Structure 1
């Protein structure tokens, strides 16, 4: 698999509830402000770049959002991705004393999901670095069928309501999409956002910004989602053509695919004929293998590629057979479906039982009441990171990307007591904006300009009183 810089932005669901069940004093906005109060007290706005190279901030609509640092390995990405949960749980722990001291004690709950009970949607955005090319728009259009049908493998699972009827489907996010390719992000919610904001040297790079994916709970699902997409991009850069798989109506197709648990409903194609989501995914997988010359039994095949191809194949086979048991510890939609079926059988109840909705919400709860840790420890959900890796990712940036440079600047500034204006590509001193440094190469781990900037910060530190 080719070296590629990847990052994930996760918007979290948030609610505040009382112990008694009465309406809380803190609505979502007030609870979010309370959650981020420690950052405000430290003199920082609720938008901060962290020592680990990531970014934590409060997004529109009272949604906490965590963006991972730039990662070029799955090990770093998965640890950084999970680190967002840890950081928000740490902030939430600091609200407990105040909230539990109320006459009717309250608690803030945070969720890795994409839709709330009122139908509001919030996202999980994937970012993939590409080499700049003139036909980017054409490439993006060619990838739409891949992203529409990918949800049958990496959707988080959802209990969908239509009128008075509840039914299980693959994805929470799919039916919040209203356009295939667009430069908008919130107004029309496209599958692929084409706004040209590379966050790197614009002469060399472009950023593929995918906003149609679900926020996954199972690490193996996130691994497959990012891994299969990275391999598809590798193949596209090597000449793979997907134009024959263009969908006639992507927005109709994404809804049809989402609601068909067999993944075999036929979708009209732009150039005539019909194919199912499984047909499309199987064709793309075979083309990726052929174009990249992948043989997972060859010792030269890297471990990540081997694992991605293996899980991709097994997932498609499970869907084709209708028996999900071979992947119901690795893929969110299958894990959640198994939990529902077991619960319905054990409780002798139906999908409209409110306890089922609470069960599903607990699946996404990142706090101590959430199901993930228990499922992982019992072997019912495959975990790929260790606690040590996640804790390290909370305090240390990936060492093989630009994130290392940003982290070094932040550490030096905090030691010197100097405030920075900083983003993904630029850092400057608030006390002297003329002193700044650019970091346009996402792969760079060394920079003379950054070293000089840090030296200036440390020079200030040397004159501070002991």
Structure 2
């Protein structure tokens, strides 16, 4: 399979909880977090020594863009490194606030919605060939991304008509179009802004904005791995025909509202299939594609995990409590409800939903489960710690990161960009 460059952008939720009745603009909190990453400055946009970019996005959200990767495991590692970098900034940022008489705690959440119904994204970027028909590719990709949430969703408790419901995906209810050039006003499954940051005659960017941010390394590996595999096979002519939904936006919302995964959605040709059945069509086509390619252990691993996950989702999703975010969270909340004898409408349930995504490992519920051996890891923590200051060694991110390190060592001002 051809080498491909990809990366993730995660916008994080940010809260300051003061010890007292004070108002503090979140820009100030974010500024002190920036100080932890870029000493002696207060920028709103900065590249780091590991080749990544950290900046303030719309709505005062800290956003971490991974460096360019060409290996799925590298991407998982650098996605986690982004969490660790933000976590590492918390003590100093809180101390700076205390010096101003603003004692309290800063919370950073790797999620996609807040209590007011606002949403912020996790965007996936894949470099794709310019010589293939973009619109034919996207038509074949949309059913895949609509249904991928059954293993990539982060889970969310939402009130519908005053009653709490558990949704598979946090982003699904905020999607309004199949394709669009906007990432805010008219959110789509596939964003069409063409920013390849490469030779535009040979490449373009595939920008996916429908996905959730994930705590699970397993899910990040699987969602990016399957997307890479499906994109490659379609580019190479292994088409997936006849899977278009009658209404993709309606389908993505209906699938998200059914954690049993039994709901069928209508295709253009009148057939009705479950999300698992749609994913199996792509899985089987990917198997045909891989059989004709040179052996790639990493992609074979992706396919095997994909097949295993679909089998377990069809049998009983709760078998994947160690791997899949929305399943893990649902198990955690249900266990709490059973223990406390409360209902899904209890305010503590909504707090658990939020605390699951706290990136501070001594506080976040996901990480407390991980510390007890209840979560399946994919990469070593040592590799994550190394990636906080070391760029991938097989993409141009290495040149960028090494340049920044050299400039800082010489105390020189510098300017860098993606290209």
Deviation of 1:84 after TM superposition, in Å, equals 0.9
- Match for residue 55 of structure 1? 53
Q: Structure 1 residues 210 and 412 mapped into 2: Cα distance closer, same or farther (>3 Å)?
A: same
- Match for residue 128 of structure 1? 126
Runs of 4+ in 1 over 4 A off after TM superposition: 37-41, 100-104
Contact 2:141-2:231 within 8 A present in 1 as well: no
Contact 1:16-1:24 within 8 A present in 2 as well: no
Correspondence for 1:225 among 223, 226, 240: 223
Asked if residue 343 in structure 1 is aligned to residue 336 in structure 2, the reply is yes
Q: Structure 1 residues 112 and 24 mapped into 2: Cα distance closer, same or farther (>3 Å)?
A: farther
Asked if residue 14 in structure 1 is aligned to residue 7 in structure 2, the reply is no
Contact 2:111-2:213 within 8 A present in 1 as well: yes
**Whole-angstrom distance in 2 between the partners of 1:377 and 1:63:** 28
Asked if residue 420 in structure 1 is aligned to residue 414 in structure 2, the reply is yes
**Whole-angstrom distance in 2 between the partners of 1:288 and 1:91:** 42
- Match for residue 76 of structure 1? 74
Deviation of 1:129 after TM superposition, in Å, equals 1.2
- Match for residue 358 of structure 2? 365
SS of residue paired to 1:420: coil
Correspondence for 1:45 among 36, 43, 46: 43
Asked if residue 376 in structure 1 is aligned to residue 370 in structure 2, the reply is yes
Contact 2:111-2:212 within 8 A present in 1 as well: yes
The C-alpha deviation readout for 1:153-202, integer Å capped at 9, x for no partner, is: 11011112112110111100111111111222212011111111101111
* Matches for 1:396-407 after TM superposition, within 5 Å: 396-407=390-401
Q: Structure 1 residues 39 and 329 mapped into 2: Cα distance closer, same or farther (>3 Å)?
A: closer
- Match for residue 319 of structure 1? 313
- Match for residue 464 of structure 1? none
Contact 2:265-2:273 within 8 A present in 1 as well: yes
Residue correspondences, number: 418
Q: Structure 1 residues 239 and 107 mapped into 2: Cα distance closer, same or farther (>3 Å)?
A: same
CA RMSD of aligned residues (A): 1.9
Contact 1:39-1:46 within 8 A present in 2 as well: no
Normalised by the size of structure 2, how large is the TM-score? 0.94
Deviates more, 1:103-112 or 1:344-353: 103-112
The C-alpha deviation readout for 1:54-91, integer Å capped at 9, x for no partner, is: 00111111100000001111221111101111111222
Q: Structure 1 residues 420 and 103 mapped into 2: Cα distance closer, same or farther (>3 Å)?
A: closer
- Match for residue 162 of structure 2? 164
Deviation of 1:327 after TM superposition, in Å, equals 1.4
Deviation of 1:102 after TM superposition, in Å, equals 6.7
Deviation of 1:274 after TM superposition, in Å, equals 2.0
SS of residue paired to 1:244: coil
Deviation of 1:232 after TM superposition, in Å, equals 0.5
**Whole-angstrom distance in 1 between the partners of 2:262 and 2:288:** 24
Q: Structure 1 residues 265 and 39 mapped into 2: Cα distance closer, same or farther (>3 Å)?
A: closer
Deviates more, 1:280-289 or 1:374-383: 374-383
Contact 1:178-1:188 within 8 A present in 2 as well: yes
**Whole-angstrom distance in 1 between the partners of 2:128 and 2:37:** 34
Contact 2:137-2:235 within 8 A present in 1 as well: no
The C-alpha deviation readout for 1:301-360, integer Å capped at 9, x for no partner, is: 433223222221222122222x22431101111111111111111111111111111212
Correspondence for 1:260 among 255, 258, 261: 258
Contact 1:46-1:57 within 8 A present in 2 as well: yes
Contact 1:16-1:27 within 8 A present in 2 as well: no
Normalised by the size of structure 1, how large is the TM-score? 0.85
Deviates more, 1:235-244 or 1:336-345: 235-244
Correspondence for 2:233 among 221, 232, 235: 235
The C-alpha deviation readout for 1:274-321, integer Å capped at 9, x for no partner, is: 2221211111111111122179xxxx7433223222221222122222
**Whole-angstrom distance in 2 between the partners of 1:45 and 1:99:** 18
Q: Structure 1 residues 380 and 39 mapped into 2: Cα distance closer, same or farther (>3 Å)?
A: closer
